[in-house]
C-alpha cells in the first residue's frame, strides 16, 4: 500500500504545490501590499513595523488555497485603543470587500489584488510571557516554523493540509472546529512526514498529549493536546472538536488500509431524488426550527447556532421529548435546526415522582404543591415508600412546545433578537424540499467524504 500511497501523494502534490509562476505572482502582490502599508504608516506617522506571517511566510501554503496575513507590530507603550484605531484604519483604506473581524481585538479581513488578505495589529514581544493578547504570539509561531521546518517537510505539510481539507477537518475557525495551519506544521515537525504522522494517529485516543519540548505541562480536557512550543501554557489544538478528532483518526486508519485520491479531493454529494429521501425517512418523524440568518461573520454565527441547538434540545428533554439525533444547516439566508425526537406526541397525563415519604419536609411540600393543583388528575399517593401524583402534561405535542417556548430560551445574542420577531416550526413533511436534498442525502447515506 505504501507504493499506492506514494503514487497518490505525488499526484496530489502536483495539484497543490505552487509553481514558479504562482510564487512570482504572489511575491509581487505581497511586495505591493507591503509598499502600500508602509506608505500609510509613514504618511500617518504610525509607530508600527510590518511582518508577513502565516503559510505564505512559511512557504507551506497550497496553490488552491492561500491567504496573505500581514501583521502591524506596535510597541507595548501604545494603548490598546490606539493600536486598534490605527490598525483598522490601514486595513480599511487598503483592502477591498473588507469586513471587521475580532480576535481579542479587531482586525480587517478583505481582498488585495484578488488574494484573501488580513491586516492584523499586534504588540511586539520577544517571548510568549510578554503577550498582551493572543495574536501577539503569531509572529513567534512563524519564526519558530521557519527555523525548524526542513525544506523537504514543506510538501509534507502541504499533503497533510490537503488531506484535512478533503475530510473537512482543516481550519480552527468555529465553522470547522478542526486543525489550524500552525497545528499542521508542528505535527509534521513532531512526526517528520505525512506518512509517519498517519501511522501514529491510528493509535490515538481522546486526550492524546503531544509536545516538541521536554518538561511538565498543564492538562487540558480536549480530544488532542499539543503544547505550543513557543508558549508552554497554551494548547494549540484547543479548537479541535471531539467529532472532528474522531473523524480524523478514522480517516487515517482508512487511508493506511486503502489509499485513495478521494481522501484529498472528495467527490461532491450527488443529491438523491426527493421521493427517495422521503421514503428513507418515512419511519422517523423529524421536526425543525427555521430562523433567519443574522448578518454576522461565521466566527460569531456558528457558536451561537450550536448554543441554540443545545438550548432547544434541553427544552425538549425537560418536557419529556428525548432527542435521538440532531444537526443544523446554514445556507445563505436561513438557519435550520433539525431534531429527531423519540416521539412527537405524548400521553395527556404522566405520573410525577416525588420524594421518599420518610423525608417529611420534602413530602409535605410535594403534597402541598399537587393536592389541589389544577393540573392534578390523581392526588399524591404512596407507592414503594415514595410519593407520586398523576398530572396533566404541560405539552403533549413537541410542535406546540417549540412554538410557545423557543422565545424564552437563550439561543445566542443575535439569534435571540431574530427569534423574538420571527421563526418557523417545520414539521416532518415541511423539511423535505428541493433546496435541502444535498443536506438530507449527506445525512442519510452516512458515507465518509472519501467514500462518495
The pTM for the full model equals: 0.90
In this predicted structure, what is the pLDDT of residue 2?
55
Read off the pLDDT of each residue in 377-396 and give the average, rounded to a whole number. Answer: 95
Structural fold of domain 274-345+396-451 = Alpha-Beta Plaits (3.30.70)
End-to-end CA distance of the chain: 21
Q: What percent of the chain has pLDDT over 70?
A: 99
d(CA 208, CA 218): 13
Q: Which CATH superfamily is domain 18-139 in?
A: Beta Polymerase, domain 2 (3.30.460.10)
The residue with greater pLDDT, 246 or 100, is 246
For the cut 60, the answer to whether the pLDDT of residue 1 exceeds it is: no
- Spatial contact of 342 and 285, defined as CB atoms under 8 Å apart: no
Q: For 132-158, how does the pLDDT look when each residue is reduced to its tens digit (9 = 90+)?
A: 778 899 999 999 999 999 999 999 999
Domain boundaries 149-266, CATH class: mainly alpha
- Report residue 104's pLDDT band, with 50, 70 and 90 as the boundaries: low
Of the listed ranges 51-55, 215-219, 245-249, 338-342, the one predicted with least confidence: 215-219
pLDDT in tens, 178-191: 999 999 999 999 99
| Domain 18-139 and domain 149-266 have a common topology | no
Q: Is the pLDDT of residue 64 over 90?
A: no
| 175/254 Cα distance (integer angstroms) | 25
**pLDDT at position 133:** 79
Q: What is the pLDDT of residues 307-330, one digit of tens each?
A: 999 999 999 999 999 999 999 999
Q: How much is the mean pLDDT over the chain?
A: 94
The Cα–Cα gap between 105 and 103 comes to 5
What's the grid cell of residue 134?
A: 493572543
What are the residue boundaries of the structural domains of the chain, listed by start?
Answer: 18-139, 149-266, 274-345+396-451, 349-392
> 51 and 73 in contact (C-beta within 8 Å)?
yes
* 10 pLDDT more than 70: yes
Q: How far apart are CA 7 and CA 60, in angstroms?
A: 21
Mean pLDDT (whole number) for 366-371: 95
If you count DSSP H runs as helices and E runs as strands, how many of each does the chain have, helices first?
A: 15, 15
Per CATH, the architecture of 349-392 is what? 2-Layer Sandwich (3.30)
Amino acid at each position: 500500500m505504501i507504493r499506492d500511497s506514494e503514487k497518490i501523494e505525488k499526484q496530489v502534490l502536483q495539484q497543490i504545490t505552487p509553481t514558479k509562476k504562482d510564487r512570482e505572482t504572489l511575491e509581487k502582490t505581497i511586495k505591493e501590499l507591503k509598499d502600500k502599508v508602509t506608505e500609510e504608516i509613514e504618511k500617518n506617522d504610525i509607530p508600527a513595523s510590518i511582518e508577513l506571517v502565516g503559510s505564505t511566510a512559511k512557504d507551506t501554503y497550497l496553490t488552491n488555497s492561500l491567504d496573505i496575513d500581514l501583521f502591524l507590530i506596535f510597541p507595548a507603550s501604545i494603548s490598546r485603543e490606539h493600536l486598534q484605531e490605527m490598525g483598522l484604519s490601514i486595513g480599511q483604506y487598503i483592502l477591498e470587500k473588507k469586513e471587521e473581524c475580532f480576535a481579542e481585538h479587531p482586525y480587517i479581513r478583505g481582498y488585495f489584488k484578488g488574494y484573501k488578505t488580513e491586516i492584523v495589529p499586534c504588540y511586539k514581544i520577544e517571548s510568549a510571557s510578554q503577550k498582551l493578547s493572543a495574536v501577539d504570539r503569531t509572529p513567534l509561531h512563524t519564526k519558530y516554523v521557519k527555523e525548524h521546518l526542513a525544506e523537504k517537510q514543506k510538501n509534507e505539510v502541504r499533503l497533510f493540509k490537503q488531506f484535512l481539507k478533503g475530510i473537512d477537518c482543516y481550519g480552527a475557525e468555529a465553522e470547522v472546529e478542526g486543525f489550524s495551519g500552525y497545528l499542521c506544521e508542528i505535527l509534521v515537525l513532531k512526526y517528520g512526514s505525512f506518512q509517519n504522522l498517519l501511522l501514529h494517529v491510528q493509535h490515538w485516543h481522546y486526550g492524546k498529549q503531544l509536545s516538541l519540548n521536554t518538561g511538565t505541562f498543564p492538562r487540558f480536557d480536549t480530544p488532542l493536546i499539543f503544547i505550543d512550543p513557543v508558549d508552554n501554557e497554551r494548547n494549540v489544538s484547543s479548537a479541535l472538536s471531539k467529532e472532528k478528532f474522531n473523524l480524523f483518526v478514522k480517516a487515517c486508519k482508512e487511508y493506511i488500509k486503502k489509499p485513495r485520491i478521494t481522501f484529498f479531493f472528495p467527490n461532491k454529494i450527488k443529491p438523491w431524488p426527493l421521493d427517495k429521501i422521503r421514503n428513507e425517512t418515512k419511519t422517523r418523524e423529524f421536526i425543525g426550527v427555521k430562523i433567519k440568518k443574522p448578518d454576522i461573520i461565521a466566527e460569531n454565527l456558528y457558536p451561537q447556532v450550536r448554543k441554540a441547538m443545545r438550548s432547544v434540545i434541553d427544552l425538549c428533554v425537560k418536557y419529556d421529548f428525548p432527542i435521538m439525533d440532531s444537526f443544523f444547516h446554514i445556507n445563505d439566508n436561513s438557519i435550520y435546526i433539525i431534531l429527531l425526537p423519540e416521539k412527537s406526541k405524548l400521553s395527556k397525563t404522566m405520573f410525577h415522582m416525588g420524594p421518599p415519604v420518610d423525608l417529611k419536609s420534602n413530602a409535605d411540600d410535594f403534597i402541598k404543591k399537587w393536592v389541589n393543583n389544577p393540573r392534578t388528575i390523581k392526588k399524591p399517593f404512596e407507592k414503594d415508600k415514595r410519593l407520586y401524583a398523576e398530572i396533566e402534561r404541560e405539552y403533549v405535542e413537541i410542535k406546540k412546545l417549540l412554538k410557545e417556548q423557543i422565545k424564552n430560551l437563550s439561543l445566542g445574542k443575535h439569534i435571540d433578537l431574530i427569534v423574538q420577531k420571527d421563526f418557523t416550526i417545520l414539521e416532518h413533511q415541511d423539511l423535505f424540499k428541493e433546496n435541502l436534498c444535498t443536506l438530507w442525502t449527506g445525512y442519510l447515506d452516512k458515507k465518509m467524504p472519501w467514500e462518495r
